[in-house]
Amino acid sequence: MARAAFRFHDELGAFLASARRERSFERDCARAATLKHAIESLGVPHTEVGRLIVNGVPATLARLVRAGDAVEVFPHRPIHGSGDARPAFVADAHLGGLARLLRMLGFDTLYDNNYSDTVILATSARERRVILTCDRELLKCREVLRGGYVHARKPEDQLHEVAVRFDLKRQARPFTLCLHCNLDLQPVDKAFVAERVPQRIALQYSTFRRCAGCERIFWQGTHWARMRDMLNTALDVPATVC
């Protein structure tokens, strides 16, 4: 066994017993255990780990734990303006509201209440999607390369949490995806929708979009304004941005 000291910073404390939060504590680790194994045995998924410092020197999750090590673990932090491709997501069964809001913000998000962990893992690997979940054990799977644990319980708070972590504000394209089908919305002529929406809507609005999957028609009505304000609040920006 190798006895090492660990300290977890900031929001990583939520994964620990209260007595271990924001303080150093010692832990016996199995021989040849990596930092990944040691950290996950303490309840923290590897996807939530950002910077690692061991004995004052930067380290990786693959480093072996040695007796006497002093390990500091910091949460993942987004690199703003990194130029990374727009993230796509797959959400677990508990995050249907969040999935809908991410689509509203313009981010490709797969969700089905019947998705099993096996399906989520396979979809993430095949399509390079970020797994969003409230299940820490799912994120501990070795196959998971991209993932995020969602702490908040209300969808609007979850959206803010995910937007901050994955730097979504600069890449948002609000109201470009169908909230139901996750497909791109396409502009359609007013003549096309004349018999598909209430007459008062056809008279009042001139711009419409249609989903080719479910054939729903969307327009910028009062509901759209409320959703816009909610998205801007979640992104922490003025209501004129979306």
Number of Cβ within a 10 Å radius of residue 180: 12
29 touches 2 (CB < 8 A): yes
98 touches 159 (CB < 8 A): yes
Residues 6+ apart with CB under 8 A from 183: 177, 211, 212, 213
**What mean pLDDT is reported for the chain?**
90
In a domain, 66, yes or no: yes
In a domain, 15, yes or no: yes
In a domain, 200, yes or no: no
Q: Looking at the predicted structure, is the pLDDT value of residue 202 above 50?
A: yes
Domain interval for residue 40: 2-75
Write the pLDDT tens digit of every residue in 216-231.
999 888 788 888 888 8
Write the pLDDT tens digit of every residue in 163-174.
989 989 888 899
Where does a domain end: 156, 175, 194? 175
Going by their DSSP bridges, the two strands 109-111 and 70-75 should be labelled as unpaired
What is residue 84's predicted lDDT score, i.e. its pLDDT?
61
- For residue 45, what is the domain's CATH number? 3.10.20.30
State whether 109 and 162 are in the same domain: yes
Where does a domain end: 143, 175, 207? 175
- For residue 107, what is the domain's CATH number? 3.40.50
In a domain, 207, yes or no: no
Write the pLDDT tens digit of every residue in 68-102.
999 999 998 876 655 567 899 999 999 999 999 99
pTM: predicted TM-score of the whole model, two decimal places: 0.87
What is residue 63's predicted lDDT score, i.e. its pLDDT?
95
What is residue 214's predicted lDDT score, i.e. its pLDDT?
92
What is residue 241's predicted lDDT score, i.e. its pLDDT?
37
Domain count across the chain: 2
Where does a domain end: 175, 205, 223? 175
In a domain, 87, yes or no: yes
CA distance 158 to 220: 25
What is residue 199's predicted lDDT score, i.e. its pLDDT?
87
**């999607």: which residue's tokens?**
129
What is residue 45's predicted lDDT score, i.e. its pLDDT?
96
Residues 6+ apart with CB under 8 A from 226: none
CA distance 141 to 150: 16
Mean pLDDT is lowest, of 43-52, 92-101, 108-117, 199-208, for 199-208
E strand map for the chain: 2-8, 25-29, 49-54, 57-59, 70-75, 89-91, 109-111, 130-133, 147-149, 185-188, 208-211, 217-218
Q: How confident is the model at residue 5 (pLDDT cuts 50, 70, 90)?
A: very high
In a domain, 240, yes or no: no
What is residue 217's predicted lDDT score, i.e. its pLDDT?
92
State whether 61 and 96 are in the same domain: no
Strand partners of residue 59:
52
